[in-house]
Structure 1
Amino acid sequence: MSRTDQALAAVAELTGDTPASARRLGGGDAAATFEVGLADGGTVFAKTASADMPGASAAEAASLAWLAEADSVPVPAVHGHDEHWLVTDHIRTASPTKPAAEELGRGLARMHAAGAPAHGAPPPGGPSDAWIGLAPMRNEPTPEWPSFYAAHRIEPYLRRAVDSGTVTAQEGEVISRVCAHIEDLAGPAESPARLHGDLWSGNVHWGDGGDGTRAWLIDPAAHGGHRETDLAMLQLFGCPHLDRVLSAYDEVHPLAEGWRDRVSLHQLFPLLVHAVLFGRGFATQAVTAARSALG
């Protein structure tokens, strides 16, 4: 059975709707995405994960449901999922606008304020062993953010990067110093926020909101954590009208003093993930971020 036929079958089984057509949007043989037209004229989005990513569909479905509960930033509704497939709303693409960016900033502030049981807590019903992109990510509830961030966000990816030779031993020592001094670098203590968890610009989908453009959050790796981590990741690869996003956020939920000085600390995690997945270029960026965080 072709991937397209599998998508049609998955939508029929998971939603009870009758699919009429499927258009492949992207992905390789192991993972693919589809826009699936329904017999009643509607459309849904179907996504399959690689066989090397067990539990990915369940983790994403739980993440989307948890973020939706905050009733802050729109996320696609989940129509069904199983071990291999996830079916959600299909959101038509639109152009970014300044008002939508400001709405995103305010929504992120409310989403983070919705909170989490602990730093590192997975979404309700979500697995502890989840994924960020193609990399495994462990969600382990931890009382304090600094120890969670060092033990479960920096050190696992640093070990993998050093073991593979992507990060040299000397560079690894620089990054390890961040973990050793994390209590001094972390800034004021904050309650655990409800994070998207993989908030780079590609996971902000500018789409039709019914009455104009809205920014939708897609592909989350949600967990409890420090709200500055989401915002730092958003700054890492850029975002349309980013200044409007951050200003609107700060108006609703003011950031702690010195947050701009901590951006490199919070970017260290996604940079190490990218180093593990994509190689040396991101490793050098991670070392630069570590040096900047250490001051």
Structure 2
Amino acid sequence: MRLLGLRAVRSRDLGRSHSWTLHRVTLEDGREVFVKKGGDFAAEAKGLRWLGDPAVEVLQVGEGMLVLPWLPPESATVPMAEETGRALAGVHRRGAPRFGADWTGDIAGLPLDNSPADDPAGGWREWYAERRVLPYARTARDRGVLGTSDIREVEAALNRAEQPEEPPSRIHGDLWGGNVLYSGGRGRLIDPAAHGGHRETDLAMLALFGAPHLAALLRAYDEVAPLAEGWRDRVPLHQLHPLLVHCVLYGRSYRDGVLAAARSV
């Protein structure tokens, strides 16, 4: 196998993620790289390049493979989390031309519709409902994970949701704590579902499954890019989409979480 024009002299299997295999590969010049195999990684590569620093650099993509630098993981410290919060605020402030993206999206191997909202005059709420929440709610219903009454609760939450409108931010889109890799004294963003969205979505996702020193990260973020009043109350709204994705992927164990979030909106 050749990567980056060089022969791979050693490969260590790191297991699987969804349908992909993961590998730590040593090249003939001594460099180590991280390789994902067995999928179409075009959207991931475009997202990483579009996000820019602190997203990890894309070294090679194509032929069912994505090659990234090998970054030895470290335990996060408070200063590292604070720097990550400031860097994330910088990414969001770069903005996006619209809600969605100019490429076909992907999240955990599921299709992600990045097209504009059906109503050209609609804002983020309409786009989020049409392109993020309702498609996965309906898929979960079709798979027997959610019932008709559950769908009505989700729809009711969307109808009563209040969200101050902001211009589209450049967001990671799947920013749970495991997608912030701490290495070299800083946090690096990996595995994005990047698009133009609402910046509160990334922060809500960090809170969903926990992230190290999250309070410090959020304080540092807010110092750089102050958040709108009441943003914490809107966290359940932004968590609806990732919870529904988990319903589709993993089944009824996430149903209660979806309904709790919907009722909290």
Question: What does residue 3 of structure 1 align with?
Answer: none
The structure-2 alpha-carbon separation of the partners of 1:84 and 1:223, relative to structure 1 and needing over 3 Å to count, comes to same
How far residue 109 of structure 1 moved from its aligned partner, in angstroms, is 0.6
The structure-2 alpha-carbon separation of the partners of 1:29 and 1:284, relative to structure 1 and needing over 3 Å to count, comes to closer
Aligned residues: 261
Which letter does structure 1 place at the counterpart of 2:169?
A
Which letter does structure 1 place at the counterpart of 2:248?
V
Q: Partners in 1 of 2:193 and 2:80 — Cα distance?
A: 23
Q: Secondary structure at the match of 1:35?
A: strand
Please list, as runs of the form range in 1=range in 2, the aligned pairs for 1:75-224 lying within 5 A after superposition.
75-122=55-102, 127-128=103-104, 130-142=105-117, 144-181=123-160, 185-208=161-184, 213-224=185-196
The structure-2 alpha-carbon separation of the partners of 1:164 and 1:240, relative to structure 1 and needing over 3 Å to count, comes to same
Q: Secondary structure at the match of 1:20?
A: strand
Q: Secondary structure at the match of 2:24?
A: strand
Q: Partners in 2 of 1:49 and 1:289 — Cα distance?
A: 34
Q: Partners in 1 of 2:126 and 2:38 — Cα distance?
A: 31
Q: Which runs of 5+ in 2 are unaligned?
A: none
Which letter does structure 1 place at the counterpart of 2:221?
Y
1:261 pairs, out of 225, 233, 249, with: 233
Q: Secondary structure at the match of 2:59?
A: strand
Q: Secondary structure at the match of 2:35?
A: strand
How far residue 28 of structure 1 moved from its aligned partner, in angstroms, is 7.0
Question: What does residue 53 of structure 1 align with?
Answer: none
Question: What does residue 291 of structure 1 align with?
Answer: 263
Which letter does structure 2 place at the counterpart of 1:172?
I
Bigger shift: residues 217-226 or 130-139: 130-139
Question: For 1:186-205, what per-residue CA distance to the aligned partner results, in whole angstroms no more than 9, with x for missing partners?
Answer: 32110100010100011111
Q: Secondary structure at the match of 2:71?
A: coil
TM (norm. structure 1) is 0.85
How far residue 180 of structure 1 moved from its aligned partner, in angstroms, is 2.8
How far residue 261 of structure 1 moved from its aligned partner, in angstroms, is 0.5
**Which aligned runs of 4 or more in structure 1 are off by greater than 6 angstroms?**
none
Q: Partners in 2 of 1:18 and 1:89 — Cα distance?
A: 16
Bigger shift: residues 134-143 or 157-166: 134-143
Report if aligned partners of 1:100, 1:214 keep a CA contact under 8 Å in 2: yes
TM (norm. structure 2) is 0.94
How far residue 61 of structure 1 moved from its aligned partner, in angstroms, is 0.7
Which letter does structure 2 place at the counterpart of 1:140?
S
Q: Partners in 2 of 1:98 and 1:31 — Cα distance?
A: 33
Instruction: Please tell me whether residue 273 in structure 1 is matched to residue 253 in structure 2.
Output: no
Q: Partners in 1 of 2:127 and 2:221 — Cα distance?
A: 25
Q: Partners in 1 of 2:221 and 2:58 — Cα distance?
A: 27
Which letter does structure 2 place at the counterpart of 1:189?
E
Which letter does structure 2 place at the counterpart of 1:118?
R
**Percent of aligned pairs with the same residue?**
48
The structure-2 alpha-carbon separation of the partners of 1:99 and 1:261, relative to structure 1 and needing over 3 Å to count, comes to same
Q: Partners in 1 of 2:17 and 2:116 — Cα distance?
A: 34
Question: What does residue 229 of structure 1 align with?
Answer: 201
Report if aligned partners of 1:187, 1:258 keep a CA contact under 8 Å in 2: no
Please list, as runs of the form range in 1=range in 2, the aligned pairs for 1:57-72 lying within 5 A after superposition.
57-68=41-52, 71=53
How far residue 283 of structure 1 moved from its aligned partner, in angstroms, is 1.4
Please list, as runs of the form range in 1=range in 2, the aligned pairs for 1:48-63 lying within 5 A after superposition.
48-50=37-39, 56-63=40-47
Question: For 1:124-176, what per-residue CA distance to the aligned partner results, in whole angstroms no more than 9, with x for missing partners?
Answer: xxx32x21112211111345111110000011001011111101111111001
RMSD: 1.5
Question: What does residue 5 of structure 1 align with?
Answer: none
Which letter does structure 2 place at the counterpart of 1:109?
A
